[in-house]
Amino acid sequence: MDGLQVHGIRKVYGSTAVVDNVSFSAPQGRILGVLGPNGAGKTTIIRMIMGITAPDQGEVFFTSDGVKTKGVPFPTIGYLPEERGLYKEAKVMNILLFLAGLKNIPKIVAKERAATWLKKFGLEDYAHRKVEQLSKGMAQKVQFIAAVLHEPKFVVLDEPFSGLDPVSQDLFKAEIRALAKSGATVLLSSHQMNMVEALCDEIFLIHKGKEVVSGHLEEIKERFGNFRVNLLTRSFQEPFLKTNMVEKAEQLGEERYRFILKEGIKPLEFVQALPPGLDIRELAISRPSLHDIFVNIAQGGASDEGYVENSSLGAYA
Amino acid sequence: MKGMWKIARWELMRNLTNKQFIIGLFITPLIMALFAGVPLLLDRLNHPALSTYYVIDELGALQHLQAIVPDNITLEPYANPSAAADKVKETDASGYFVLSQDFPVTGQIDVVYNDRSMETMNALRGALTALLQQLRLASSQISPEQVAFVTAPAQVKEIAIEEELEPQAMHMAVSGVFTILVFFLIFTSGTMLMQSALQEKRDRMAEVILSSVSPRELMQGKILGHFLLGLIQLGFWIALGLPIARYFWDFSVMEALQAVNLPVILFFGLGGYLLFSALFVGLGATMEDLQSASNSQGLVLMLPMLAFLFLGPTFTNPDGTVAVFASIFPFTSPAIMMLRTGLTRVPLWQTLSSAGLLLVTALVLMGLAAKIFRVGMLMYGKNASLKEVARWLSYKDN
């Protein structure tokens, strides 16, 4: 199968393993999210994939058109590093042409594509401006263009959304989806799990250099998270809290309740069991967010309630 | 290889379209001309300092003395010291003195000065000494012919045992010029190269570039680009300076090129450039910025200057131990060997061992620089310590 395979890579700095026996594969045409908190080892993994640092153990393979290679396929890979930057005194178009040239894209082709991309990001007026005249967000867009201008088969994006406003984030998300749809293998990293979980087809959660959980987003959620119900009502009765469908019930505010359903209990069953005549102001049923799952697993279930609270209510209430 | 040329072209174009570079291209020769021209001009303005001394001539030798003193010193007879002193104050003359009758015996003379120009005072002292000698010789009844005969210097003629040993002015001048040019190339391109590596870090571009080319290609591309840039700079300045030089000193370019051992000069020029550029580019990768260079980094930066220490000894004794050592030691050999080829006939074994050592050192340094470069380029926000650099050298390539 085409895509990117990582086999048991390990990197030790000093006496700590920053990345410890990490394996995953990013299938072609899909988006793999390497997610984890700051300092989890995401950038180190990406740098090892990009051949910038050598793993102490393990290997990285790139397969395209059925051919498996070990070294980084320079012409067919696109990379947006975490450390952002562009030559400050160079002009936007010149940098794009130079970087596309390094990927063996003829100048005429590169010029046309660059113009199209700049227009897409609303930067057409900046093509002949110097980079130092761009805002941070604009520079990030130019960097993104540089990473994908050569229509790479492999796209590696390290924290592509950090520092972007919500509108630009959506723009990036749409373009990343389009890249995967056109057949590229996309690997991106982020520490903001809730923000990218909807974007990724595959998830690789990492903490302290080790895999926490990985796989299909839905599978993970099924595996690790029972349904949650957030309810806003005035006419609630205490005895309901003790129903056998609920694993955990809490009153969060005067009128706000949250239930975590027992394993195997379907949302519909729970809703049907609600007392008749209940005055529902708001009702939200959801799987826990990736963040909650992460916190649960990484901290051995002893999650900080307030932390979980904010994230799930923030997302669904 | 392809990546290296693309990087080189980018470095070249980036600088050639940079205003600062273009301004520097014109300003540098101007500054150099200024530095060479201004002292000359000042000297010329300063030189014809005319000075007048009043002489109270009790001895009757004033005419004699007037014949001896340089043209810019005027001696005027005067009646008595106190009147002369007043006159000096009044006219701003240089001073006065009494040529007393017992001068031939005592040799003592008091020059009362108003302005104390070292140069005129020395000239006056020389003239008075000559006068004293003449007076004393005359009193001991030796004829002027005899005097001339006794004091004539030996006439030494230097004849080389083989013609090639003979130092030719052209030879020396051309190899000297080449030495300076190569030095200049190493310094300007070397520092630009280092700044380019620093800039790559400052602008956080290294990782992006390294997703398209290998660190080695990036480094070699930079070195090549700045070498070409240096050549363009040199070419421009030579094109600018040659007609001027030919106007002042009549010489033929072909003759000048034939006067030196061109292959040796080209080899050592190129070898020296490679050696120092590897040093500079590696150094740049270990630094955050030029201002924060540590002592050990500063020392490396000074390494090309080492050759300056050996210029003097090489000039005075081009076949001496010091010169031979400096022309073989790889950090000084590029400049010193070039200089020696102009001054003397360098034995073949020395040329070969120096060339070999330079080549090996340059290649080894290139390899080390590449290792430092690949780690250093990705290190942001601090200077690397010696210990860290040593550890980088032990990292394996992948």
Q: Is pLDDT above 90 for A157?
A: yes
Chain A interface disruption, residue of B9, B212, B375, B388, most A CBs within 10 A: B212
Give A147's contacts in chain B (Cβ within 8 Å): 208
DSSP structure class, residue A91: B
- Is residue B10 within 8 A of residue B212, CB to CB? The reply is no
Instruction: Determine, for residues B210 and A50 on separate chains, whether the beta-carbon distance falls below 8 Å.
Output: yes
Task: Between A269 and A80, name the one with better pLDDT.
Answer: A80
What CATH number is given to the structural domain containing A252? 3.30.70
CA torsion A46-A51-A53-A57 (nearest 10°) is 90
H/E stretch holding A202: strand A202-207
**Overall average pLDDT of the A68-95 stretch:** 89
- Is residue A295 within 8 A of residue A307, CB to CB? The reply is yes
Regarding whether B144 and B78 lie in a shared domain, the answer is yes
Whether residue B396 lies within 8 A of chain A, CB to CB, comes out as yes
Which amino acid makes up residue A309?
Answer: E
Regarding whether B97 and B221 lie in a shared domain, the answer is no
Å between A84 CA and nearest CA of chain B: 6
Domain range for B116 is 50-150
Å between A267 CA and nearest CA of chain B: 48
Regarding whether B375 and B250 lie in a shared domain, the answer is yes
Regarding whether B119 and B181 lie in a shared domain, the answer is no
Regarding whether B189 and B117 lie in a shared domain, the answer is no
* pLDDT computed for residue B165 by the predictor: 53
Q: Is B65 left (phi over 0), alpha (psi -120 to 50) or beta?
A: alpha
Whether residue B3 lies within 8 A of chain A, CB to CB, comes out as yes
Question: A216: exposed, middle or buried (C-beta count within 10 Å: 0-12, 13-18, 19+)?
Answer: middle
* pLDDT computed for residue A108 by the predictor: 94
* pLDDT computed for residue A305 by the predictor: 38
- Sequence-ordered strand ranges (E) for chain B: 51-57, 73-77, 95-99, 111-113
Domain range for A311 is 222-316
* pLDDT computed for residue A77 by the predictor: 94
* pLDDT computed for residue A317 by the predictor: 31
* pLDDT computed for residue B92 by the predictor: 78
Q: Is A73 left (phi over 0), alpha (psi -120 to 50) or beta?
A: beta
Regarding whether B361 and B243 lie in a shared domain, the answer is yes
Q: Is pLDDT above 70 for A306?
A: no
Q: Tell me whether residue B129 is in a domain.
A: yes
Instruction: Determine, for residues A103 and B212 on separate chains, whether the beta-carbon distance falls below 8 Å.
Output: yes
* pLDDT computed for residue A315 by the predictor: 36
* pLDDT computed for residue A303 by the predictor: 39
- Is residue A35 within 8 A of residue A205, CB to CB? The reply is yes
Regarding whether B225 and B114 lie in a shared domain, the answer is no
**Overall average pLDDT of the B180-205 stretch:** 82
Question: B249: exposed, middle or buried (C-beta count within 10 Å: 0-12, 13-18, 19+)?
Answer: exposed
Whether residue A128 lies within 8 A of chain B, CB to CB, comes out as no
Q: What is the pLDDT of residues A211-252, one digit of tens each?
A: 888 888 888 888 877 788 888 887 766 656 556 788 888 888
* Nearest alpha-carbon partner for A297 in A8, A75, A37, A11: A37
* pLDDT computed for residue A78 by the predictor: 94
Q: Tell me whether residue B29 is in a domain.
A: no
Q: Tell me whether residue B331 is in a domain.
A: yes
Å between B233 CA and nearest CA of chain A: 21
H/E stretch holding A34: strand A31-35
Last residue of a domain, one of B123, B150, B177: B150
Regarding whether B189 and B83 lie in a shared domain, the answer is no
Q: What is the pLDDT of residues B127-151, one digit of tens each?
A: 898 888 888 887 887 777 887 787 7
Whether residue A13 lies within 8 A of chain B, CB to CB, comes out as no
- The SS3 assignment for A188 reads strand
Overall number of domains in chain A = 1
Q: What is the pLDDT of residues A100-136, one digit of tens each?
A: 999 999 999 999 999 999 999 999 999 999 998 999 8
Regarding whether B266 and B132 lie in a shared domain, the answer is no
Q: What is the pLDDT of residues A56-68, one digit of tens each?
A: 899 999 998 888 8
Task: Between B41 and B209, name the one with better pLDDT.
Answer: B209
Overall number of domains in chain B = 2
Nearest to B208 among A47, A54, A99 (CB): A99
